[in-house]
Amino acid sequence: MKERSTTILTAIFMCMVLIAMPLEASTEDVDVSVRILPMIPVISNPTLTDVEGEAVASLDVAKEYMVNFELMEKNGIEDIVSVSVSVFYAGSGALEPSLPDKRSSYQIVWENTGGGVWHSYPGGHLGTNTSFKSISKCLFEFSFPFILDKVSLPSGNVNTWKARIEVLDSSGYTGIYEDILFDVNDYVEWNGIPTQIDLTPIDNEPESPWVLNNPITIQTYIISNTEVDVYFRADDISLGDASIDPNSFFTICATNSPLGGSIAYGYDTGKNVPKSSTRIYEGAYSSGCTLNPSVDGYVDNDGGLVRFVIDVQDGKNVPCVPGGTYTASWYFSIGRGEGITL
Domains and CATH numbers, the chain: 42-184 (2.60.40.10), 188-336 (no CATH)
11-25, 189-203, 227-241, 264-278: least confidently modelled range? 11-25
pLDDT tops 70 at residue 341: no
Arithmetic mean of pLDDT, 86-96:
93
Arithmetic mean of pLDDT, 90-102:
91
Q: 35 CB contacts (<8 Å, ≥6 apart)? A: none
What does the pLDDT read at residue 15?
A: 45
4-18, 196-210, 263-277: least confidently modelled range? 4-18
Q: What percent of the chain has pLDDT over 90?
A: 76
Q: Are 83 and 117 in contact (CB under 8 A)?
A: no
60-64, 153-157, 227-231, 332-336: least confidently modelled range? 153-157
- Write down the H helix ranges in 91-226: none
Mean pLDDT of the chain: 91
Radius of gyration over every alpha carbon of the chain, rounded to an integer in angstroms: 39
pLDDT tops 90 at residue 206: no
Task: Please report which confidence band the pLDDT of residue 270 belongs to, taking 50, 70 and 90 as the band edges.
Answer: very high
What does the pLDDT read at residue 21?
A: 56
Beta strands in 99-219 (DSSP E): 105-111, 117-121, 131-134, 139-147, 160-169, 174-184, 188-191, 216-219
Instruction: State in Å, rounded, how far the first CA of the chain is from the last one.
Output: 122
Say what the pTM is: 0.84
What does the pLDDT read at residue 20?
A: 54
Q: 103 CB contacts (<8 Å, ≥6 apart)? A: 149, 151, 152, 153, 291, 298
**DSSP SS3 for 123:** coil
Q: 300 CB contacts (<8 Å, ≥6 apart)? A: 151, 223, 286, 287
CA distance 117 to 169: 16
Task: Please report which confidence band the pLDDT of residue 12 belongs to, taking 50, 70 and 90 as the band edges.
Answer: very low
Query: CA triplet 224, 198, 263: central angle to 5 degrees?
Result: 35
| Cβ count within 10 A of residue 337 | 23
